Structure 1
Amino acid sequence: MTDTPIGRTAERTEMNRRKADRRREVSRTVKTVRERLSSTTGTRPAFDYEVLLGYARNRMAAWLALAIMVAVVGYASIYFVPVETLAVWGAIAFGVHALNGLTYRRFASIPAADVNLERWQRQFTIGEVLFGIAFGTLFVIPSELREQAAVLQFGTILLSVAVIAMVGSNLPRAVIGGTLPITLFGAVSFAVEGSFLSYTIAGFVVFAEGFFIVLAFRMRQNALAMLEFRAEKDALIAELEQANAVSDESRRRAEEANLAKSRFLATMSHELRTPLNAILGFSEIMQGEVFGPIGNAHYREYVSDIHNSGKHLLNLINEILDLSRIEAGRYQLNEEAVTLAHVAEDCHHLMKLKAKTKNLTIHQQFEPDLPKIWADERAIRQIILNLLSNAVKFTPANGEIWIKMGWTVGGGQYVSVRDNGPGIPEEEIPIVLSAFGQGSLAIKTAEQGTGLGLPIVKALMTMHGGKFELKSKLREGTEAMITFPAARVMEVMPAIPDRAHAPPAGVVTPRVRRAAG
């Protein structure tokens, strides 16, 4: 039963995370659909402006290139078209192209909030249609050298359609409006020739028109996809910033709560210790019948219960304060040279009387001549006492307990406390290692305990840079092992030679002389 809350908490956390992800996805989808429904083009309104702005910028960037193309085509057509007619055509084409350039520049200078997308899209489409008509009239101008001009006109049609489709792909209807007049004029001019070749060229021109329009639509889809990816990236960045802000606020509140908890514990420990000391002192006097016999066996039993309860409450307060100081990072280690064997023997003697009442046998297996370690003796004493008291508490009568101590493979030292008790189920080990966690055995047997002993052991070993391992099997027993790293083992330094009896400088000893000879 004790592992149910932890399991449910983990499942609930995972479920809440999935629900939050699903809510964000649904919210994002609903927002996208709503924006697309409110848009005239089927995309997001923000995307409509970005796409139209990209179209205007592309047209401004290609304005000079198109002007040069008009000039080159006009110059090459001098051999096939009268100069007067060509001058009128060039003036009209350059005029329309210049007006379009001014329109693009004016649109780019207007803030996004003041833009009427539908009106500007209409203006751009009309401008492209006018340029296409003006440019396409070149192909229907009568000429005496029609056959010689066919190659030039065919190449000009393909080039102009390709350039307009590539540059204006962000606005497909403007591409259609700008290229369709050029294609129609060119196809008609070729078709009126009446030959098979002219029909073939006219058909190829129409096919090229369809190909470049499809290509323009595909390029627009790619542009929209890039805008979609950029919007998702910006949304993720915004979510991360919001989550970071929430995390900072949560951390600040947690720090304030931890500070309030520390102040509360410090105040309550003082307020509780004063009456507890009086309870323990007076109950010991009454228990020892210092001022005379009590005279009633029930009263003696009650005094003993009062004293034991007071000791249990005092131990609980001390453990809570120790764990709070460790978690707050205020537990200071008073490190010194410590002999593990001496500390373990002292703890053994302290627990011997309690073990004797249950007829338990405690065995010691210490490797000889273990060097000292650099550690906090009080913390190590508390660690070993917690492990021994747990073993004595949960080992049934007539059981056995082993205390082992020795070297680790890496050069450190370990202390192991093993019993042949009922053991702990594997799924309950994380519970007993958590603060105030108790296994099912402790609950069934109603053993007194706070569930703080093993968490304190683990925290103190972490402060020492060591490890704490708990292994257990049902009906076989439990082993708790603490391991100190090799860095805390104090090596025995070699003896310093007495310089008063050392040979003078430059004098070689006989042994060294024999080695040299």
Structure 2
Amino acid sequence: MDMFDLPADRMSERRPNETSDRRRSVTAKVRAARERLTSTSGTRPAFDLELARIYAHNRLSALAVVLALAAAITAVATIWIEPRVALTWLAVVLAGHAVVVFFARRFQRAERNAADIRIWRLRFAAAELVNGLAWASIVILLGQAEIASEAAQVVSLFVMLVGVAVATMLAASIPAAVFAGTLPIAAIVIVVYSLRGGAASSAVAAMTAGAEIYFLLLAHRLYRNTLETLEFRAEKDALIGELEQAKANSDDARRRAEEANLAKSRFLATMSHELRTPLNAILGFSEVMKSEIFGAHVTPTYKEYAGDIHDSGQHLLNLINEILDLSRIEAGRYELNEESVNLAYVVEDCRHLLTLRAKNRGITIRESVEPGLPPVWADERAMRQITLNLLSNAIKFTPQGGEIRLKVGWTASGGQYVSVADTGPGIPENEIPTVLASFGQGSLAMKSAEQGAGLGLPIVKGLIDLHGGSFSLKSKLREGTEVIVALPASRIISALAPVPEKATPARNRAETPAAALRRAG
């Protein structure tokens, strides 16, 4: 759907969301760019620190494996070189690896910050260079051996592959350390065997060059994967932080809402008492004046004024009662006084009460009640208020000469329903949520009907929800509105089956009292 096809209200909701998302995205990009500019590696400083930590952890955790490899290579090398020389190479390798371990342990124990990462990376690269030269020295020893057989060339190639592979896997999180640790080994192998000449030596040099390129590419791939993992983890942590902040804001908003609701309840309780006291006096005295109990008015207009005062006071009292009822429903403090209720009788009684008002407006009420409806377990006052509110709304919004259809019957699930349908102006579909909200009124209803507080339908929905029932509103413009409230089947009171009498034995039924006495005697 094109943006210009959207309603104006949906477009207004969409624009702030898009603007907020765009602003958040731009802010994140600017922050990331600023951090990359201040970093020595082009990544975020926090990532630089984490990458160095990964390097130190890898080097320390692989200490035993590296020492075992060095010892194995030393044992194999004794075939072509003197054991004393081989052990000397082992000592050099151990010394080179000790430099790497020293800086790794010192890095883990020191207090680190983003500003020192560049220095530590240089230290790690220098340590890897020393370690790489130590490993490459055996290639020189094997190349200068008196018996330089093909097996020695294979061992040299093996040493190169092991050294480059170990440096690549353990130092992949710091690219400079990978270059410093692998290039000396590969360069020495290439130089030694290129100077010797011969097809086998040239093959070893070529394979060494290819292997070095491969491992450098592998190191770059591992580095990118590690960096992406850190980025994903940072995004996850940021999302968790936003969710925690949103939860904190939600809890704070809920707390403020509860405080506001409590203040509202206190205000309504206070105002209901303060308003009902003078209202009772107004209603009582206006009733006396309207009925002319103490004598007729000198001016007949005073009687009309007294009637208007009484009607206005009664309207205000009804409004206060509706507000209090809605407040109790929303606060969950409305208590149902449940009993056996004949729903058809309640609906008939409410229709009778409002028949005169409907006739005055020229409206016909047609009632349809299915026969044989059993009673329901419900609050009679609540069911009466539901019916009165629905009928009052229908009368209010039905034009002169209109018709109201009132139905009571069975639902498909075995419950009972009350349906009130009118021939009024109807409600636009986008205004139905407004009508169902507290104090909400539709635009067409305000233009064509009497003014009201907009509490009738919310109270109906709240009361039927307390009974575990359902509320349905269907409306079409210029055709009318139908509201259906239904009670669940669990509230239907079914007639109990008669209790069967205990059967009397045939011998006892046939035996007379006199015979029983003789048998007992």
Give the TM-score taking structure 2 as reference length. Answer: 0.91
Instruction: Please say if residues 367 and 405 of structure 2, whose CA atoms lie closer than 8 Å, have aligned partners that are also in contact.
Output: yes
Q: Look up the match of 2:4.
A: none
After superposition, residues 467-478 of structure 1 pair within 5 angstroms as 467-478=470-481
User: Quick one: distance in 2 between partners of 1:361 and 1:457?
Assistant: 23
Deviation at residue 473 of structure 1 after TM alignment: 2.2
| Residues 57-86 of structure 1 deviation map (CA, whole Å, 9 limit, x = unaligned) | 111122222222222222222232244443
1:250-282: CA deviation from partner (whole Å, max 9, x where unpaired) = 111111100000000000011111111111111
Query: Shift of the alpha carbon at 1:92?
Result: 2.3
Q: Does 1:305 align with 2:282?
A: no
Cα displacement (A) at 1:420: 2.7
Q: What does the per-residue CA deviation read over 1:380-430, in whole Å, with 9 as the maximum and x for residues that have no partner?
A: 111111111112222222322222111111111111122233333333322
- Aligned with residue 454 of structure 2, among 451, 454, 458: 451
* Match among 187, 190, 200 for residue 197 of structure 1: 200
1:26 equivalent to 2:26? Answer: yes
Q: Distance in 1 between matches of 2:122 and 2:33?
A: 25
Distance 2:213 2:493 in 1: 86
Aligned match for 1:281, one of 268, 279, 284: 284
Q: Which one-letter code corresponds to 1:97 in the other structure?
A: H
Q: Decide whether aligned partners of structure 1 residues 307 and 445 sit closer, same or farther in structure 2, where only a CA change above 3 A counts.
A: farther
Q: 1:19 to 1:118 in 2, by over 3 A?
A: same
Q: What is the match of residue 504 of structure 2?
A: 503
**Structure 2: distance between partners of 1:433 and 1:507:** 70
- Whole-Å Cα distance in 1 between the matches of residues 188 and 94 of structure 2? 19
Q: How far apart, in 2, do the equivalents of 1:226 and 1:176 lie?
A: 22
Per-residue deviation at 1:498?
5.0
Deviations 1:187-215 (A, max 9, x none): 11111222233222211111111110111
Relative to structure 1, the CA distance from residue 111 to residue 279 in structure 2 (aligned partners, 3 Å threshold; closer, same or farther) is same
SS in 1 for 2:149: helix
* Residue aligning to 1:514: none
- AA matched with 2:146: E
Change (3 A) 1:355 1:254: same
Instruction: Provide structure 1 residue ranges, at least 5 long, that are not aligned to the other structure.
Output: 1-6, 510-517
* C-alpha distance in 2 between matches for 1:314 and 1:127: 89
Q: Please give the TM-score of this superposition, normalised by the length of structure 1.
A: 0.91
Whole-angstrom distance in 1 between the partners of 2:475 and 2:363? 19
Displacement after TM superposition at 1:506 (Å): 9.4
1:382 pairs, out of 381, 385, 392, with: 385
The structure-2 alpha-carbon separation of the partners of 1:493 and 1:505, relative to structure 1 and needing over 3 Å to count, comes to farther
Q: What pairs up with 1:80-95 in 2 under 5 angstroms?
A: 80-95=80-95
SS in 2 for 1:483: strand
Could you tell me the percent identity over the aligned residues? 52
Task: Look up the match of 1:512.
Answer: none
Which range moves more in the overlay, 325-334 or 36-45?
36-45
Summarize deviations over 1:472-500 as a string: whole Å, max 9, x none. Answer: 2233332221111100000001223455x
Give the drift of 1:8: 7.5
Could you tell me which residue of structure 2 aligns to residue 145 of structure 1? 147
Q: How many residue pairs are counted as aligned between the two chains?
A: 501
Q: Which amino acid aligns with 2:121?
A: Q
Q: Secondary structure at the match of 1:480?
A: strand
**For 2:191, which of 176, 188, 192 is the aligned residue?**
188
- Higher relative CO (Cα under 8 Å, sequence separation at least 6) belongs to 1
Within 5 A, what are the aligned runs for 1:251-266?
A: 251-266=254-269
Displacement of 1:503 in angstroms is 1.9
Distance change (3 Å), C-alpha of 1:64 and 1:496:
closer
Displacement of 1:38 in angstroms is: 0.9
Q: CA RMSD in A?
A: 2.3
Q: How do 1:12-91 residues align onto structure 2 when only pairs under 5 Å count? A: 15-91=15-91
**Separation (CA, whole Å) in 2 of partners of 1:433 and 1:418:** 17
Whole-Å separation in 2 of the counterparts to 1:497 and 1:478: 50
